[in-house]
C-alpha cells in the first residue's frame, strides 16, 4: 500500500475503533477524514464530533477530547499524536517512520511510483482529436489531442489496457469540397506541409462555391433578392479578396477551374458516390484526406502524440453497420419519417424508457435527432452510433474526447444505444467534454484562412523557450540549446492546455505558457533540472546516499515536501477515476513550488550531520521521481538540465 494511504487508513481505523468503543451505533460514513486548512493544525482532521453532538448530544469540543484521549492511549505506528482542536480530531504523523516509507517507496519504485500495485485491467478504447481532414490542426482544436494523450497515459498508469483511436471524418461535405478542389487542380504534389496545402485548397474552393451559390440565388430572385443574401454575398466577396491576396496561384487556378459547369452539383455527386462506395469517388476523396492526415501525423508527432488506430468513418458505412443501426432504430416506436427524412423522437424515448437518471438528464426536453436526410444519406451522429457499437466489440469501456458543444450529439448517441437494447453500453460510454481555447487579440476564422495553426504556436513556443534558455544558460552548446528549447517549448503548450479544468475555457497567453517562475511547464521542468543538478553534484563529489536519518527531516518545509510526494499515488488514482488531467498538473505545480522553497532555504550537500545530508539527498531524489512521473502523465518531458 502507498505509504501515505497507509497513514490515512491507520487514522480511519483508529477513529472507527474509538467510535465503536465510545459511541456504539454511530455511523461510520461520517468519519470524513481530510486535510485541515493549515499544516499547523495537523496532517489529517475529522469533524466527526459535530455529527456525534447532533446525534448523541454534548459539545463537539468535549467529544473531540474524549476521542483524541481514547486513540492516544492505544499503540500507534504511523500516528505520533492525536489532538482535539476547536471540536475537530486532528492527527499528526510520525514523520520519522512516514518519511522513510514515502521516500524509500518513491526511490525503489522509480518510474512505477504512483502506479497501483493492483492494476485495474480494463480494456478502454479512447478516441481523441478526430479533426476534420480539410485544414491543419489549429490552436483552437489543440486541447483535444493534449487532453486525450494525457488521459491515455493516466489510464494506462493505473493498469488499464488503452487503445487510442483517431476517427477520420471523411464523409462530410467539407471533405468533399477539399477533395473536389484538389481534383480540379489535377491532384498536384503538395507545396510545403500537406495539411496546409489541403487547407489552402479547401478555403478557396469553399469560398468560390459559396459565391456561386449566392449569386444564383440573387439572380433568380432579381430585384426582390433579400438584403440578408446580398449581405452574405458581400461578406464572401470580402473573404475572396483576402484569400486571393494570401494564395494568389491557387485562387487563380481554382477560379478558372470552377468557372464553367455546375460545381455544386459535382460536389453533391462526389458526396453521393462516396456514400455508395464508388471507386472513382473513393479515389477523389481519399487522395486529399490522406494528404491531410500526413500533416496531422507530423504535427502530433512533434508533441509525442500517436495513435494505435486510424478509423475511417466511410468504412463503417460501406460495411453495412450504419444500415444495421438504422434498421434497428426504425423498428422502434421512436423513429418516424418526415418529408423523406428519418427522425428520432429522443425526448419520448427518454421519458418512456426511464433514461433521465441513467443518462444524467434533468427535466429539460431533449430535441429530436435527424438520422437521415430526405435523399436517404446518413448524418454524422447516425454513423457515430455505429462507430460506438464497433468500439464496444474491442473494449469494455469507450471514452470520446470532444468539445462541450457536442454534448447534445453525444447524448443522442447514448439514447440511441439504449433504444437498440444496449443500455449497459450507454452506461459504459463517456463523453469527455472540454472548453474552448481563446487567444486574446485574435479572431480565428477557418473560412477566411485566419486560423492560427498548432504548428505556428509550437514554433513560436520553441523560439521563445530558446531565448530563455540562452539567457539562463549561455554556456550550453548549440545542440543542447536546440534540444532543451524543443522540449521546453512543446511542454509549455501542452501544459497550458492541460492544466485548466476541462469544463473551463483556456485563455492561451505567452506570458503564462512560457513562464519560468510559476505554474507552467518551464517552471516544473526547471525544478526537475534543479533536483537533477543537486544529485549530479553530489555524485561527482563522491557522495552516496548510505545512512539517511529521516527523523532529522524536522523542518516544516521538509515535512510538507515529503507529504506532497506521498500524495502522488492517490492523485494518480483520483485523476484516473475522475478523468482529470488537471489534477496531475495542479499537483505537479504545488509539488514544484514546495521543492523550490526547500531548495532556497535548506542546504543539501553541505548539510550536517551525514544522516541529515543523506536524508535530504534522498528527499531530492524522491521529488525528482514524483515530478518526473507527473510530467510524463501530462506528456511533458522532464529535462536533467536547462
Give every residue of the chain whose pLDDT is below 70, as ranges: 1, 30, 442-450
223 and 78, same structural domain?
no
Is residue 344 included in any domain, yes or no? no
CA 359, CA 407: separation in Å to the nearest integer? 12
Is residue 316 included in any domain, yes or no? no
469 and 615, same structural domain?
yes
Number of Cα atoms under 13 Å in the Cβ half of residue 547: 4
209 and 83, same structural domain?
no
Determine contact, residues 364/393, Cβ cutoff 8 Å.
no
58 and 200, same structural domain?
no
pLDDT digits (tens, 9 = 90+) for 363-385: 999 999 999 999 888 899 999 99
Is residue 149 included in any domain, yes or no? no
Cis peptide preceding 225, ω within 30 of 0 = no
Identify the domain boundary among 256, 289, 307.
Answer: 307
178 and 78, same structural domain?
no
88 and 180, same structural domain?
no
What residue numbers bound the domain in which 575 lies? Answer: 454-633
Total-model pTM: 0.93
193 and 50, same structural domain?
no
Helix (H) or strand (E) holding 84: strand 79-85
Q: Tell me the CATH number at 605.
A: 1.10.730.10
Q: State how far Cα 267 lies from the chain centre.
A: 36
Is residue 447 included in any domain, yes or no? no
Is residue 163 included in any domain, yes or no? no
197 and 81, same structural domain?
no
Determine contact, residues 156/124, Cβ cutoff 8 Å.
no
Is residue 376 included in any domain, yes or no? no
Is residue 372 included in any domain, yes or no? no
CA 600, CA 194: separation in Å to the nearest integer? 49
**In this predicted structure, what is the pLDDT of residue 448?**
61
Determine contact, residues 171/178, Cβ cutoff 8 Å.
no
**In this predicted structure, what is the pLDDT of residue 26?**
82
CA 459, CA 468: separation in Å to the nearest integer? 15
CA 118, CA 158: separation in Å to the nearest integer? 8
564 and 476, same structural domain?
yes
Q: Tell me the CATH number at 62.
A: 3.30.1360.70
Identify the domain boundary among 307, 334, 363.
Answer: 307
615 and 466, same structural domain?
yes
**In this predicted structure, what is the pLDDT of residue 475?**
86
As separate numbers, helices (DSSP H) first and strands (DSSP E) second, the chain gives 25, 14
Is residue 329 included in any domain, yes or no? no
**In this predicted structure, what is the pLDDT of residue 38?**
84
183 and 55, same structural domain?
no
CA 490, CA 483: separation in Å to the nearest integer? 11
**In this predicted structure, what is the pLDDT of residue 120?**
78
58 and 182, same structural domain?
no
Identify the domain boundary among 279, 307, 335.
Answer: 307
- The count of structural domains within the chain is 3
Amino acid at each position: 500500500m502507498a505509504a501515505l494511504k497507509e497513514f490515512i487508513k491507520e487514522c480511519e481505523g483508529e477513529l472507527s475503533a474509538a467510535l465503536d468503543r465510545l459511541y456504539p451505533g454511530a455511523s461510520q460514513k461520517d468519519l470524513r477524514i481530510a486535510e485541515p486548512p493549515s499544516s499547523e493544525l495537523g496532517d489529517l482532521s475529522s469533524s466527526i464530533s459535530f455529527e456525534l453532538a447532533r446525534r448523541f448530544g454534548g459539545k463537539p469540543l468535549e467529544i473531540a477530547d474524549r476521542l483524541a484521549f481514547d486513540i492516544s492511549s492505544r499503540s500507534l505506528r504511523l500516528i505520533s499524536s492525536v489532538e482535539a482542536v476547536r471540536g475537530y480530531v486532528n492527527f499528526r504523523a510520525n514523520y520519522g517512520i512516514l518519511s522513510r516509507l514515502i521516500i524509500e517507496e518513491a526511490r525503489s519504485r522509480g518510474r512505477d511510483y504512483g502506479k497501483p500495485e493492483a492494476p485495474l485491467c480494463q480494456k478502454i478504447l479512447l478516441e481523441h482529436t478526430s479533426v476534420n481532414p480539410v485544414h491543419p490542426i489549429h490552436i483552437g482544436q489543440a486541447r483535444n489531442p493534449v487532453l486525450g494523450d494525457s488521459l491515455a497515459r493516466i489510464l494506462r498508469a493505473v493498469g488499464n489496457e488503452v487503445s487510442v483511436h483517431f476517427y477520420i471524418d471523411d464523409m462530410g461535405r467539407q471533405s468533399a469540397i477539399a477533395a473536389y478542389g484538389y481534383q480540379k487542380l489535377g491532384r498536384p504534389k503538395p507545396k510545403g506541409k500537406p495539411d496546409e496545402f489541403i487547407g489552402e485548397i479547401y478555403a478557396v474552393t469553399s469560398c468560390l462555391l459559396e459565391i456561386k451559390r449566392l449569386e444564383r440565388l440573387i439572380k433568380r430572385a432579381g430585384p426582390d433578392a433579400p438584403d440578408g443574401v446580398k449581405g452574405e454575398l458581400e461578406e464572401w466577396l470580402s473573404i475572396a479578396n483576402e484569400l486571393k491576396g494570401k494564395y494568389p496561384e491557387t485562387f487563380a487556378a481554382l477560379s478558372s477551374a470552377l468557372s464553367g459547369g455546375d460545381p455544386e452539383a459535382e460536389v453533391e455527386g462526389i458526396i453521393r458516390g462516396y456514400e455508395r462506395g464508388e471507386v472513382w469517388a473513393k479515389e477523389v476523396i481519399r487522395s486529399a484526406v490522406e494528404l491531410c492526415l500526413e500533416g496531422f501525423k507530423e504535427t502530433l508527432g512533434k508533441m509525442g502524440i500517436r495513435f494505435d488506430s486510424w478509423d475511417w468513418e466511410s468504412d463503417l458505412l460501406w460495411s453495412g453497420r450504419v444500415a444495421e443501426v438504422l434498421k434497428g432504430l426504425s423498428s422502434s416506436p421512436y423513429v418516424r419519417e418526415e418529408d423523406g427524412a428519418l427522425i428520432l423522437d429522443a425526448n419520448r424515448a427518454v421519458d418512456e424508457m426511464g433514461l433521465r437518471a441513467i443518462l444524467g438528464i434533468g427535466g429539460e426536453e431533449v430535441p429530436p435527432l435527424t438520422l437521415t436526410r430526405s435523399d436517404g444519406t446518413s448524418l454524422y451522429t447516425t454513423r457515430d452510433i455505429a462507430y460506438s457499437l464497433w468500439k464496444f466489440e474491442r473494449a469494455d469501456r469507450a471514452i470520446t474526447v470532444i468539445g462541450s458543444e457536442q454534448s447534445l450529439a453525444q447524448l443522442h448517441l447514448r439514447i440511441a444505444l439504449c433504444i437498440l437494447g444496449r443500455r449497459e453500453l450507454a452506461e459504459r460510454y463517456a463523453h469527455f467534454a472540454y472548453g474552448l481555447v481563446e487567444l486574446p487579440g485574435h479572431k480565428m476564422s477557418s473560412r477566411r484562412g485566419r486560423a492560427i495553426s498548432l504548428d505556428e504556436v509550437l514554433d513560436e513556443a520553441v523560439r521563445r523557450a530558446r531565448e530563455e534558455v540562452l539567457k539562463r544558460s549561455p554556456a550550453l552548446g548549440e545542440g543542447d540549446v536546440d534540444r532543451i528549447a524543443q522540449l521546453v517549448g512543446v511542454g509549455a503548450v501542452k501544459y497550458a492546455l492541460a492544466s485548466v479544468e476541462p469544463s473551463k475555457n483556456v485563455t492561451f497567453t505567452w506570458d503564462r505558457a512560457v513562464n519560468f517562475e510559476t505554474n507552467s511547464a518551464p517552471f516544473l521542468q526547471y525544478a526537475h533540472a534543479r533536483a537533477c543538478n543537486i544529485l549530479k553534484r553530489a555524485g561527482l563529489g563522491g557522495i552516496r546516499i548510505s545512512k539517511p536519518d529521516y527523523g532529522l527531516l524536522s523542518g516544516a518545509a521538509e515535512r510538507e515536501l515529503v507529504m506532497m510526494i506521498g500524495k502522488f499515488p492517490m492523485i494518480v488514482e483520483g485523476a484516473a477515476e475522475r478523468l482529470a488531467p488537471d489534477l496531475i498538473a495542479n499537483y505537479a505545480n504545488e509539488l514544484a513550488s514546495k521543492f523550490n522553497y526547500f531548495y532556497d532555504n535548506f542546504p543539501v550537500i553541505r548539510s550536517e550531520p551525514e544522516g541529515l545530508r543523506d536524508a535530504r539527498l534522498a528527499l531530492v531524489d524522491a521529488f525528482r521521481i514524483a515530478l518526473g512521473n507527473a510530467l510524463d502523465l501530462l506528456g511533458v518531458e522532464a529535462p536533467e538540465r536547462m
